[in-house]
Amino acid sequence: MPRKHGSDFKAAAESLAASLPLSENNAALACVDKQKGIMGVACSGGVDSVALALFLYARRKGKIALLHYNHGLRKGAANKDAAFVGQLAKKLGVAFYCQKAPALKKHDEALLRKLRFSFFEKTCRTHNIKMLAFGHHALDVVETMLLRLIRGSAHIAAPKAVQPWRGLFLLRPLLEMKKEALQAALKQTGVPWREDASNLKTDYLRNRLRLGLLDELKKALAPRALEDGFLRSHRFLSEDDAALGEWLDRLLGKRFEKKKSLAFGKLKDFPSALTRRALRAWLDAHELGGIFDAGGFDALLDILNEGKQARVSAGANGFLSSDGKNLFLKKAPPAKKLRGEKILKGTIKLSTGACMSAEKIALSAALKRKIFSGKIPPVNEVFLDPKAATHLVVRAWKAGDRYRPLGAPGTKKVQDCFTDAKIPAMERNALPVVYNKKIGAILWVACLPPAHAARLSPGATRALRLTYKP
């Protein structure tokens, strides 16, 4: 029979903590036990976060604070969630920090997460909270791993039990627990929780995955639990992840990702997985992880693996510069403006001090493979149909300029292309446009894909190589 604790949530917390069979090897629990100050608990009011709040209240002798972010998307229900968590904090006698999101005309999962974590970070810093715990459980492991596989991520072992983040530690002590076990534990103590009706909507990919594919997988695997295999793989991948991290620390030094430059040249004789991991860690540590999409990251990784010298825009942060052995983040130089129009023959110097060159070259089989596999990013160099090598001029881009980028279904404004490529506004006026004056068409804008009409044919033996050296 359930042990009804009524309004005595403190007794319920002790009862629940005693009933959860968590492993002694739980890395997050080790942090929970070592932390001396107040520990934050992200609490939505759902079954997992309520169970976590009660468990940590008992485990830490009441030294917790509840943090709740009200997205305000479900009208009255969202306010009731916030009130419920506030009452839970009051009955436990712990601090409660809550914030309501601003009115949003449009929203997606990424924006909501950004707002939520901004609140978490600010609140933790204000109240000297060093660790913040989340109630992610075994089904969250399944969903996250599948989503990362779908998106082509190199880091499948997620979410992590212990995750350093912006000077905080994010803890997930319940990853080994199934949701049904948490529900049963709360029912046994008589403690209620809130249900989020939006979890039943298919607006977001995670929900569609949960309500469609995962339900079918559960039926197909029954009576075996879907989570068991994923938890096992998650453990193995986490161990591999830790081993790679330790190997990198030995090669580049501990906390290498915090350094101003990434010494990737030290990794040239080692598996490329190390360079990929080092680049991702370094970009994330410098808050550049969101600048590059998958294609941009792969192109940057190719530059490192090939030991090339290159300069790649990092948006408003400036640019990344590779000297062939080290990668640096540099601030954007004072804005320059390309002036005038110059005929492009051979190599010319532009008003910005940069150089531009055009030459016809023979194509080797190896070079053709690199060109057609997309391994040469169009930042400083492109290869075009040699028939395009007439009446070439170089000028600055103009408002209203349009062209069809390689592979695009139609024409786009150059300004929109700059925006999509995250090229800072201060850099755009310095970028040269290579223009065929006879036909009135743009062939290439430095840092953007070349024109589709001037693309190389698969059977080409020669090419027009355009090179831009800032």
**In CATH, what number is assigned to the domain containing residue 265?**
3.30.465
CA neighbor of 35 nearest in space, from 162, 141, 176, 166: 162
Q: What CATH number has the domain bearing residue 225? A: 3.40.50.620
Q: Are 157 and 241 in contact (CB under 8 A)?
A: yes
Regarding whether 356 and 216 lie in a shared domain, the answer is no
Is residue 380 within 8 A of residue 308, CB to CB? The reply is: no
Minimal CA–CA distance to 299: which of 373, 236, 403, 226? 373
Which pLDDT value is given to residue 333?
65
Task: List pLDDT tens digits, range 92-150.
Answer: 999 999 999 887 777 677 788 889 999 999 999 999 999 999 999 999 999 999 989 98
Phi, psi of 327 (to 5 degrees): -115, 130
Q: Are residues 210 and 322 in the same domain?
A: no
18 contacts: CB under 8 Å, gap ≥ 6: 58
Supply the pLDDT for residue 435. Answer: 94
What CA–CA distance (Å, rounded) separates 288 from 285?
8
Instruction: Taking each helix axis as running N to C, give the angle between helix 47-59 and helix 27-34, from 0 to 180 degrees, rounded to the nearest 10.
Output: 50
pLDDT digit string (tens) for 258-271? 999 999 999 999 99
| 259 and 353 part of one domain | no
**What is the residue type of 339?**
R
Residues contacting 178, CB < 8 A, separation 6+: 137, 138, 139, 225, 227
Q: Is the dihedral of CA 304, 306, 307, 309 positive or negative?
A: negative
- Mention every residue, 6+ apart, whose C-beta is less than 8 A from residue 383: 363, 367, 371, 376, 450, 456, 463, 464, 465, 466
Looking at the fold, whether 70 and 204 belong to one and the same domain comes out as yes
326 and 349 together in one domain:
no
Q: Which amino acid is at 54?
A: L
Could you say which of 303, 330, 357 is where a domain stops? 330
Residues 215 and 104 in one domain: yes
Residue 422 lies in a domain: yes
- Same domain? 183 vs 130: yes
For CA atoms 197, 202, 207, 212, the dihedral sign is positive
Residues 311 and 347 in one domain: no
Please tell me whether residues 349 and 323 are part of one structural domain: no
Strand, helix or coil for residue 324: coil
Q: Which residues contact 49 (CB under 8 A, 6 or more apart)?
A: 41, 42, 43, 134, 135
Strands 462-469 and 381-384: antiparallel
Shared domain check, 147 and 84: yes
**What six digits make up the tokens of 86?**
């506030």
Residue 17 included in any domain: yes
Of 188, 211, 229, the residue at which a domain comes to its end is: 229
CB 88 within 8 A of CB 12: no
Domain limits at 132?
9-229
What CATH number does residue 410 fall under? 3.50.40.10
Q: Which residue has the tokens 């080409």?
A: 460
Please report whether residue 234 resides in a domain. Answer: no
| Domain assignment of residue 182, yes or no | yes
What is the pTM assigned to this prediction?
0.68
4 is a domain residue? no
Pairing of strands 346-349, 441-445: unpaired
Asked if 283 and 213 sit in the same domain, the reply is no
19 and 130 co-located in one domain: yes
Tell me the DSSP string of 184-238.
HHHHHHT------GGGGS-SSHHHHIIIIIIHHHHHHHTTS-HHHHHHHHHHHHH
Residue 30 makes CB contacts below 8 A (sequence gap 6+) with none
**Domain presence at residue 42:** yes
Domain termination residue (choose one: 274, 301, 330): 330
Regions in the chain scoring below 50 on pLDDT: 1-6
Number of domains in the chain: 3
Tell me, what's the pLDDT at 8?
83
Tell whether 244 is covered by a domain.
Answer: no
| Helices 138-150 and 226-252, packing angle to 10 deg | 70
For the chain, report the end-to-end CA distance as a whole number of angstroms.
75
Q: Is residue 237 a part of any domain in this protein?
A: no
Q: 34 exposed, middle or buried (CB, 10 Å; 0-12, 13-18, 19+)? A: exposed
pLDDT on residue 225: 84
